[in-house]
Structure 1
Amino acid sequence: MSAAPVTTQGSSSTAQGPGAESSNKRPRRNDDEGDQPNDENDLSYSDDGGYDSSDGELTLEESMKRQRKKAGLRMETSEGRRRDAMLADIANAHDTPKAASQISQAIYEYTRMLMGISRKSRMSNNDHDSTLPPPPSDDEMKAWVNRQEDREEVIRKAMERGMRKYLAKKPDNFKPNRTQIRTVEKDAADRARLTIKLKPVKFTSRLDHKSSCRYAHNWGTKCEGALALAGFPRCTFDWEAGYDSPWNSSVSAIIISQWVKCFDAKGARAFAIVGSDNTDLNRDEVLRRWFKNKKGDYRKQTRNEILIRTSQGRAKVEADKAYSKKVISRRRGKAKIHKARLSVVKELFGEQSAEYGMLNPREVHSEDELSSAAPSKVRLGWRSAELDTFISLVDQCVWGRETDAALRRSARHLIERGPYSTTPDVDLFPPKKYQRSLVSPTWISSMQGVALTHLELNTTNVVDIRRAIMKLTKELASTPSTSQ
């Protein structure tokens, strides 16, 4: 009876051994299977409506749609940043006086005088130097920085000597308190500043005593003395750095402070400066604007200095200068013609007349051709024959109404700029919303529809061009009989 249970237990143990081993291995197989992807948790759909475990790619349409969404989001974000920056600039912007204001012109000319930059002249034989002074060299910058550091070192040593002398008069076990230390060091520093005065450095002046500057040159000399006392060897800006750099901010502060002294002493009375414009912030912003504009000019000047090292480069620089002079001359000539024609129309038709409004836009008036050697006028292909006739009659009135011989010759020279060029400029367009009947039909038929749509030409005949031509013809015809 006792063996049966043992045998049964042993046989049972023997019989369950493999089963137990397999039962122990089964969880391990389940653990290994748990590392494999589970079909029930796969996120890709199969063909029969379930999930597909195979790797795939986005279709071209899905990829393009995704790229468009990203590009749109980036554009929207960038546009938002630009809009916020623009609003911040507008909100924080200072209302600086215009460049043509008297305060701006006064500070500009004062700075040009100090830097030896001649005023722009319309004469071709202007031999004065109009180049910007070079920025400070590394040695000049280092000497200016070390000058301040050396002065601080001298004062610090004077304070140490003063403290040693003070302690030498006290017992060996004497320990000064904070108030005594501050008092002794301050007295020693004050004595050092009085005895060791700053000496001006050797200064290189660029003042041109032959220029037609509206400031007395002694004001420039005084400013140069202040710059030399501050350690600057010459008056210049660091054109490669920002306006708020240590060198530029110090130079600009001295220039403005010396200009204020000049203004207070009535040295700038030639400019008739408005008192409300002469503020600390306006003066600083005006000089900051001048510096930023000249920064670009200095880069161009540096490029030209590299070009003139070769013969071809020198020829290119001279050609660019000649072309720039032609452009400036053409712009001035067009402004004079525009003013002269409007004065005639104002006198004959009135300032509020439709004829005055017809000639008021600058696009109506032609310019001189730059490519030709001899003066010639650019023919505006868009102007109708009636408008050309009207302008020609106005030009005759410009010089015909003058009774002084010199003024008559000057007016005639202004109007008669030579013959019209044989090649009209097709890239010039009439003003927007201009009267359509004043535009050449041939020109309109040659233009694209999108250009005409953008011009929005007015179909209402505000100006009776034929009646205006008849009035000018009568004025010119009546002149001889009136003069007899």
Structure 2
Amino acid sequence: MDHENDDPMEISDSPSDSDSSTCKATHIQSVKVVVKVTISCLLASNEIDPELLESKAELKEKRRRVKQRAKKDQDQILKIATSRPLPHPTSSLSCSVTRFIKFMMGLNNANSTLPAPPSDDEVSAWTNHIANREAQVANKLSAPSKSNGPAACVSTTGAETAPCLSRSSMNFLRSQKLGKIRNQGLALVKFTSSPDVLSDQPISFQTKRMCEKAFQLKGISRITFEWNARSLAASRWNNTTALVLIESWSSWYKTQMINPKHLEEDIQGIIERWLRTMRGIYRKQIDSKERVEARSPRGLPQHLKDRKKISERRYAAAKAIFPKNSSFTILFKDVRTVSDYEDNVNATLPRTRIIPQWRSQIFTKVAHQLDEAAKQLERDRRKRANLTNLLRRGGIKDEAGEAEDLMEAPERFPADCYNQAYLDGLTSLERSHLKPKAAIGLENFFDSVCKKTTNGHMNTDEPTVANTRASVQN
């Protein structure tokens, strides 16, 4: 055989395609190893350029941000792709859901203060609700019962012997106990109801009580949200609260003879959208509260505004009852006669009134009775509800004697409007500034107001001693 034309070098330099790819991959891998080893050596010898390291770190951070942005965009696309279309926020359905929630939370209008989020104790009580109830049942079950007799016989030496009852008897007694516990029921968590307000929708207070009962059975002590949570999924409390509200709203909505297809809409999505808006409002509310707490409560715009409203209402009530007695009615035109108040930490609870040092007890009683008269004189149901909320009083406390900023006493008032202890504590010069007038008999005015506002207070046929024209004292 002739091998003269065979070139061994040509054969060895013409490998197959797969062998070529393998060689290239091996070469690249070898280069990477060499680069890594070189960088490691340079790092060990401190000969690498710091700018190179910094640029590599910046490049790595840039890649991380790009990936993070891409993931965020993808999540947004996925959320839109999997979400259901929601009705417009101002649609009848959306308004029905949100107004129902506001009614249950005691929110009267857009300016109403949102209730405080659940405390740690409230969340803990709800989280452990089932476990706590199981513990109650176990305690009741293990408690000795006089009617069931001893579970074991006792020997003459005092030592317990084998049980006197058979297993079937023990099971029967246990079943009896369980039935008794079931019939008696277990104590529910103490529920704090929100203030009753009027609603634009025909929602009865019975519906509200049923909704509150549903929350109580879940171990939730009041209706509120964790306002700072970013979504319903981010808060188990919010998710449970929303589901109970949806169930209560659905039951009520079915009775309204409205489009039943509305019940097929994404009601949970409507609530989540509303909560996003409320989260922003709550943040503003907290910021405003922090600014308020940084200042003295005296003279705050909202306090002055509320006190002026109360003063106007009392004056109008006094004019309605005593139209000819200007010497009495004019007293309540002065906003200084209205006590200041402290905002409650829990916005669902009434405010604490601070009784001024200068005001006498009988003058305070007359003022509070005029509040009752003002409510009874208001015919419009909505306005009456707003007025009732304005005049709600929780605790009442006297103004501290050591307070730096005492409430100012009005001048030239009848003497029985002033607290005698306050007058006695003034110097002759300080008292000369007040220039108190002669007493006008506030007790008689108080009795006259009570006759008009309280059933059976006194015989209303008796002549009203205070409702006569009185000259203004100088």
Query: TM class, shorter-chain normalised?
Result: 0.3 to 0.5
Whose RCO is larger (CA < 8 A, sep 6+)? Answer: 2
The structure having more radius of gyration, on CA atoms, is 1
Q: TM-score, normalised by structure 1?
A: 0.41
Q: TM-score, normalised by structure 2?
A: 0.42
Richer in helix (by share): 1
